[in-house]
């Protein structure tokens, strides 16, 4: 409160209005309409370009670690530095059987076969790991496994859900499109464009073997919603 006397009624009214409007901090609030119109576009554009996601990647300085022999890649040093700061040490390297199981489950969602285990264990070459990764990436199971992650993201379903749960008869076409995209190593930026507006691309991605426009299937996930039917009224 002021040291001498009472605040003028007009000032009190301003405080009341400010509180009723939500007590917005003007430092955090967006500019008023008149101020926004008065701000030159160049100034606004320059400010927006400072957003963190628009900044070019910069190679950071590698942290100093005590156990330099453990890290086989610069990224390892960042992980190791965080562990050392917490008084932790890396786990011991996994044996070849465990390593193969991890690779197989992550890349294909399936366990390795006994023959695959024996082949990997008996391969003492320096490229054994790389060859196994390449083999699993080339497997059709890779696309099936990783397409499921994307299907979870877009809430893939073969029916609309809700009470009457009508079927989406052609939903499988979108599922198969995803599997093909992952197995064909479609670039991520191209893949995202297809999800957003694949039916509008001037140069769509054609599947010559099946004679279909792959890109046009991308927006099909927009149909994975409750629409096209009247929900049942539980109260009659």
Strand partners, 167: 159
| The two structure tokens encoding residue 103 | 């690779």
- pLDDT at residue 135, rounded to an integer: 97
DSSP 72-110: SSHHHHHHHHHHHHTT--PPPPPPHHHHHHHHHHHHHSS
| pTM for the predicted model, two decimal places | 0.68
Q: Give kind and range of the element (H or E) at residue 212.
A: strand 212-213
d(CA 159, CA 165): 6
Give the pLDDT confidence of 51-107 residue by residue, as tens digits. 998 999 998 999 999 988 898 899 999 999 999 999 999 999 999 999 999 999 999
**215-223: average pLDDT:** 89
Is residue 160 within 8 A of residue 229, CB to CB? The reply is: yes
Residues 6 or more apart whose Cβ sits within 8 Å of residue 197: 218, 219
Quick check: helix, strand or coil at residue 57?
Answer: coil
Place of tokens 């101020």: 35
State yes or no: pLDDT of 108 exceeds 60.
Answer: yes
Least confident of 34-43, 62-71, 185-194: 34-43
* Residue of 202, 203, 209, 205 whose CA lies nearest to 218: 205
Q: Give kind and range of the element (H or E) at residue 141.
A: helix 140-153
**120-149: average pLDDT:** 97
| The two structure tokens encoding residue 105 | 């489950």
Confidence of residue 21 (pLDDT cuts 50, 70, 90): confident
d(CA 207, CA 140): 17
């Amino acid at each position: 409160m002021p040291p001498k006397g009472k605040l003028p009624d007009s000032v009190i009214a301003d405080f009341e209005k400010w509180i009723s409007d939500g007590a917005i901090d003007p430092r955090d609030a967006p500019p008023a309409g008149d101020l926004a119109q008065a701000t030159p576009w160049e100034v606004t554009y320059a400010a927006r370009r400072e957003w963190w996601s628009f900044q070019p990647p910069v190679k950071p300085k590698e942290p100093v670690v005590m156990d330099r022999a453990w890290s086989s890649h610069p990224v390892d040093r960042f992980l190791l530095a965080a562990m050392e700061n917490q008084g932790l040490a890396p786990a011991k390297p996994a044996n070849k059987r465990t390593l193969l199981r991890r690779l197989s489950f992550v890349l294909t969602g399936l366990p390795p076969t006994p023959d695959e285990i024996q082949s990997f264990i008996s391969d003492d070459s320096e490229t054994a790991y790389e060859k196994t990764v390449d083999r699993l990436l080339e497997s059709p199971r890779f696309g099936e496994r990783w397409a499921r992650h994307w299907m979870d993201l877009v809430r893939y379903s073969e029916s609309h859900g809700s009470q009457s749960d009508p079927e989406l008869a052609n939903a499988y076409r979108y599922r198969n499109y995803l599997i093909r995209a992952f197995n064909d190593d479609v670039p991520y930026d191209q893949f995202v464009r297809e999800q957003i507006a694949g039916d509008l691309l001037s140069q769509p991605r054609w599947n010559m073997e099946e004679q279909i426009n792959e890109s046009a299937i991308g927006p099909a996930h927009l149909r994975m919603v409750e629409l096209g039917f009247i929900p049942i009224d539980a109260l009659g």
